[in-house]
A and B are shown apart, each in its own frame.
Chain A
Amino acid sequence: MAEPALVASESLAGCRARAARTVLGQVVLPGEELLLPEQEETDGPGFAGERPLRLNAGIRTRLRVVCGPGLRRSGDRLLVTKCGRLRHKASGCGSSGGIYWVDSQQKRYVPVKGDHVIGIVTAKSGDIFKVDVGGSEPASLSYLAFEGATKRNRPNVQVGDLIYGQFVVANKDMEPEMVCIDSCGRANGMGVIGQDGLLFKVTLGLIRKLLAPDCEIIQEVGKLYPLEIVFGMNGRIWVKAKTIQQTLILANILEACEHMTADQRKQIFARLAES
């Protein structure tokens, strides 16, 4: 008896809004409607998933909920625009607030505020640089947004140089803006990347994987050769090792990691460590 009821409720959820909390880490599809926890609570647990979200109506405790990439507010509804896994990061104050976003597998980058990216300077015009970040539009970067830069003391940036920076403005239908300093005015690792080394592109999913706090791949790569490496959230990786040969090996390994299982990867690293 219990099984048919379960199936029925699942098929119901397919066409109606699901509570965001219940589908965390699960695959969501474009066009799906989601309910945020606060909406769920006002409706009571029995009615969770029954009514679509109303962001403006009857919010007792104002929770800060941020819709990240892959989610979009359409009127009073919250819609999924990409297929992938729903993720959530709780904010400091409350458990139900925080950021919701969809981790999807794609190559095209869409600028997101706060992302650290690698850009290529395409033009110098007046007091701003145009930087290609792989998005639909080049980002703008003020020459004052470098550490220690003043009107008189301009940074030495040429067309074609690589820039590691952070987005401060990334809105829909607007030119994104980058800076190479943090809020304290320090470079904090950002700025122009050296002239040597190799830049290559991987998928955004692989970058996220590599940037995860305890990524095995990076640890294993670090054991192979001494290297310098920069990851941009826009899918670009800059890597530099002592020789061209080593740089090429590192680039090829990182690229190939996406389609290898953990065992295959370990084998390859073991073989490389021998040679």
Chain B
Amino acid sequence: MKETPLSNCERRFLLRAIEEKKRLDGRQTYDYRNIKISFGTDYGCCIVELGKTRVLGQVSCELVAPKLNRATEGILFFNLELSQMAAPAFEPGRQSDLLVKLNRLLERCLRNSKCIDTESLCVVAGEKVWQIRVDLHLLNHDGNIIDAASIAAIVALCHFRRPDVSVQGEEVTLYTPEERDPVALSIHHMPICVSFAFFQQGTYLLVDPNEREERVMDGLLVIAMNKHREICTIQSSGGIMLLKDQVLRCSKIAGVKVAEITELIQKALENDQKVRKEGGKFGFAESIADQRITTFKMEKAPIDTSDVEEKAEEIIAEAEPPSEVVSKPVLWTSGTAQIGEGIENSWGDLEDSEKDDDDEGGSDEAVILDSVKMDTGVEVSDIGSQDAPIVLSDSEEEEMIILEPDKNPKKIRTQIACTKQEKAPSKKAVKKRKKKRTTN
């Protein structure tokens, strides 16, 4: 797909804004966009975000035969890819001029600066060396690919751990991460590219141009530098004439920016190391936050809660009372259970049956009860004097207990005789009493 053309009005506006020292995203002339570094779960995998520009870096390694003329040096390989995902204008499978230029610049920045100790990558001289491959994928294009890519490459290399090897005689043993801890690469310094865009034939200068600024710029100067202020690569493109002090000024700015970025990288690496050691959560899923679209959100409707209580009461009053629901099993008596409503269960309902029995024999026992009451009344007074156990209840069984002691049977008998005289109970009842006594 064709690139979206830049309209005349955008171009004019951008140039006028730059003349006024203003940038589209509110940055100052020498400001970088926000840099964010996040690591994947594997070693040697990172995503670097420079504003909206995003680069994914992944390092891998392989044991290969070395180059003939460099028998004791490992091989470094860099590959940057511009996929269509980054911008629809990038065509897949075609080496565009921009891509070739960026790849060359990356190689010069990272390989030719000898920032990685290639001799330490040698396993057996002339036979086996490590080939370190750095794959960089542009995920989103919003200008200044080279800076983001160079940061991603060096961060991924710093983060990478290669498997440990040992050589015993001719035999080369490769250890899995479980057997021996993987080894970090030895990195001498961190070269980082800093881009400067020039406008109006070098009159105006901007650091870290975004995509639209890149489109209207006249020339670009890329300086690769490490934190020791050593220039690793310098490249000017766009065919503008730069003055000596402009280049010097740029290198000074680059020094400051590189120091800041290096510090950030080191902090990010330390953080990741710490999290891994502590066994916390790491990986892209944890570190990359997703944005929310809020414009479609429904606003919460305000609710008038002033007379809610009265209304609720009204509703409750009007509504039919709910039928009682017993959620817990009801235990009428031990050994029975009932859940919910229903007809009362009469099974094993001991109290009720007892009641019934009482009712049956009520007519003839009533008389007896009367006489018994009389008895107890007398007894209580007697017992009090004889230190006998005090029983105040008047059930039949206790009656018998009271009658048990044969200390004063006479007295009772006389009492009964008294009652006979007084109330003249039916013969039947007296007989019953007598019988009881005899059994005792």
A interface residues, Cβ below 8 angstroms from B = 105, 120, 122, 132, 134, 136, 138, 158, 160-162, 193-199, 205-206, 209, 238, 244-245, 247-248, 251-252, 257-262
Contact with A158, one of B8, B26, B292, B295 (Cβ below 8 angstroms): B8
- Going nearest first, the 6 A-B pairs with the smallest beta carbon separation are A160-B8, A120-B7, A209-B295, A198-B13, A261-B294, A120-B5
Known: A120-B4, A132-B5, A161-B7. A252 touches B295 (CB 8 A): no
For residue B10, CB closer than 8 A to chain A, the reply is yes
Least Cβ–Cβ distance between A206 and chain B, in angstroms:
6
Interface of A is mostly: mixed
CA distance A244 to B4 in the complex (A): 23
Q: Is the CB of A194 within 8 A of B299?
A: no
State whether A205 and B293 are in contact (beta carbons under 8 Å apart), knowing that A195-B12, A197-B9, A244-B20 are contacts in the complex: yes
B5 cross-chain contacts in A, Cβ below 8 A: 120, 122, 132, 160
Is B386 engaged at the interface, CB distance under 8 Å to the other chain?
A: no
Say whether, besides A161-B7, A258-B295, A252 and B26 are in contact (CB < 8 Å): yes
Kindly identify which residue among A132, A196, A251, A261 contacts B12, using a CB–CB cutoff of 8 Å.
Answer: A196
Whether the Cβ atoms of A199 and B295 lie closer than 8 Å is: no
Whether B293 pairs with A261 at a CB distance below 8 angstroms is no
B22 A205 Cβ-Cβ under 8 A = no
**Does A259 lie within 8 Å of B293, measured CB to CB?**
yes
B187 at the interface (CB under 8 A from A): no
CA distance A128 to B1 in the complex (A): 21
* Residues of chain B with a CB closer than 8 A to A257's CB: 295
Inter-subunit contact B9/A199 (CB<8 Å): yes
User: Is B295 within 8 A of A206, CB to CB?
Assistant: yes
B219-244 with Cβ < 8 A to chain A? none
Residues 277-308 of B contacting A (Cβ, < 8 Å): 291-297, 299
Contact with A along B17-54 (1 / 0, CB 8 A): 10010101110000000000000000000000000000
Q: Which residues of A contact B252 (CB under 8 A)?
A: none
Question: Measured between alpha carbons, how far is A115 from B61 in the docked complex, in Å?
Answer: 53
B312 within 8 A of A: no
Chain A residues positioned under 8 Å from B6 (CB to CB): 120, 160
* Chain A residues whose CB sits within 8 angstroms of the CB of B294 once the complex forms: 258-262
Whole-angstrom CA separation of A268 from B88 in the bound complex? 34
Q: Which residues of B contact A158 (CB under 8 A)?
A: 8
Question: Within 8 Å CB of B4, what residues of A?
Answer: 120, 132, 134
A196/B9 contact (C-beta < 8 A), A120-B4, A205-B296, A262-B299 known: yes
Which size bracket describes the interface of B in this complex? 20 to 34
In the complex, chain B residues whose CB is within 8 Å of the CB of A161: 7-9
Contacts of B437 in A (CB 8 A): none
Q: Please name 20 further chain A to chain B contacts, defined as beta carbons within 8 Å, in addition to the given A132-B4, A134-B4, A160-B5, sorted by A numbering.
A: A105-B293, A122-B5, A160-B6, A160-B8, A161-B9, A162-B8, A193-B9, A195-B9, A197-B13, A198-B10, A198-B13, A199-B7, A205-B296, A206-B295, A238-B9, A244-B17, A245-B22, A247-B13, A248-B24, A261-B297
Which residues does chain B contribute within 8 Å of A105, judged by CB atoms? Answer: 293
Chain B residues 54 to 81 lying within 8 A of chain A, measured CB to CB, are none
23 contacts between A and B (CB under 8 A): A120-B4, A120-B6, A120-B7, A122-B5, A134-B4, A138-B2, A158-B8, A195-B9, A195-B12, A196-B13, A197-B13, A198-B10, A198-B13, A206-B295, A238-B9, A244-B16, A244-B17, A244-B22, A245-B20, A248-B26, A252-B26, A258-B293, A259-B293
Q: Are B7 and A160 in contact (CB under 8 A)?
A: yes
Closest B residue, CB atoms, query A199: B10
A216 to chain B, nearest CB (A): 10
Q: How far is the CA of A258 from the CA of B293 in the complex (A)?
A: 6
User: Within residues 167 to 214 of chain B, which ones have a CB less than 8 A from any CB in chain A?
Assistant: none
Contact of B295 among A196, A205, A245 (CB under 8 A): A205
Which residues in A have their C-beta under 8 angstroms from that of B7? Answer: 120, 160-162, 199
* A residues in contact with B297, CB < 8 Å: 261-262
CB-based contact B13/A244 at 8 Å: yes
CB distance from A246 to the nearest CB of B (A): 11
Complex formed: what's the CA distance from A27 to B291 in Å?
19
Q: In the complex, what distance in Å separates the CA atom of A40 from the CA atom of B4?
A: 45
* CB-CB nearest in chain B for A206: B295
Residues of B within 8 A of A197 (CB): 9, 13
Q: How far is the CA of A244 from the CA of B1 in the complex (A)?
A: 32
Q: Which residue of B lies closest to A261 (CB)?
A: B294
- From A134, A194, A206, A259, contact of B9 by CB (8 A): A194
B8 touches A209 (CB 8 A): no
Residues in chain B near residue A261, CB distance under 8 A: 294, 297
Instruction: Please report the C-alpha to C-alpha distance between residue A244 and residue B18 in the assembled complex, in whole angstroms.
Output: 10
Within 387-408 of B, Cβ neighbours of A (below 8 Å) are at none
Shortest Cβ gap from B300 to chain A (Å): 10
- Residues of chain A within 8 A (CB-CB) of B299 are 262
Residue in chain A with minimal CB distance to B1: A136
Residues of B close to A138: CB separation below 8 A? 2
Complex Cα gap A162–B4 (Å):
13
Nearest chain A CB to B3's CB is how many angstroms away? 9
Point out the residues of chain A lying under 8 angstroms from B296, CB to CB: 205, 209
In the assembly, what is the distance between CA of A260 and CA of B5, in Å? 30
The reply to whether A198 and B9 contact each other, CB–CB distance below 8 Å, is: yes
The residue in chain A whose Cβ has the minimal distance to the Cβ of B291 is: A259
Q: Which residue of A lies closest to B7 (CB)?
A: A120
Contacts of B25 in A (CB 8 A): 252
The digit string for B249-268, where 1 denotes a CB below 8 A from any CB of A, is 00000000000000000000
Bound-state CA distance A158–B11 (Å) is: 14
CA distance A105 to B2 in the complex (A): 23
Which B residues are in CB contact (< 8 Å) with A262?
294, 297, 299
